[in-house]
Amino acid sequence: MPATKKLAAACAAAVVASTLAMTGAATAHTTGIHDNCTNLNKKWPHGVGTRGAVDKTSGTKVKNFYHNNKAHWAAENHNGTLDRDNDRIACEKA
């Protein structure tokens, strides 16, 4: 097999493998919990936020939501509309 055919076959295999890897990662990340505030509030009734987050409307630290940086950023990265006021608390409720 000529070197150019080997190179073309290797490139094609790499493209297929990377496409499958990206598709699998996107599918695994979609759990449904981060799709909207209704689903997120079923697990965390007062929302989820980063540690030390301050409520934008009152200017005070909020204590009744679930504090977890990883969970908050996973929700934000999946659906950026969950924290509309950008106070690092997604789907907050009083």
pTM as predicted: 0.61
Strand partners, 66: 48
d(CA 13, CA 77): 30
What pLDDT, in 10s, does the model give residues 45-75?
A: 999 999 888 888 788 877 888 999 999 999 9
SS3 for 61? strand
Res 40 pLDDT > 90: yes
Mean pLDDT, the chain, integer: 77
The span from the CA of 86 to the CA of 22, in Å, is 28
> Is 40 in the same domain as 17?
no
Structural domain count of the chain: 2
Domain limits for position 10: 1-30
**Partner residues linked to 57 by β-bridges:** none
Same domain, 20 and 46: no
- 9's tokens: 């076959």
The predicted pLDDT at position 55 comes to 82
Residues 53 and 41 in one domain: yes
**Does 40 share its domain with 82?**
yes
Are 68 and 23 in the same domain? Answer: no
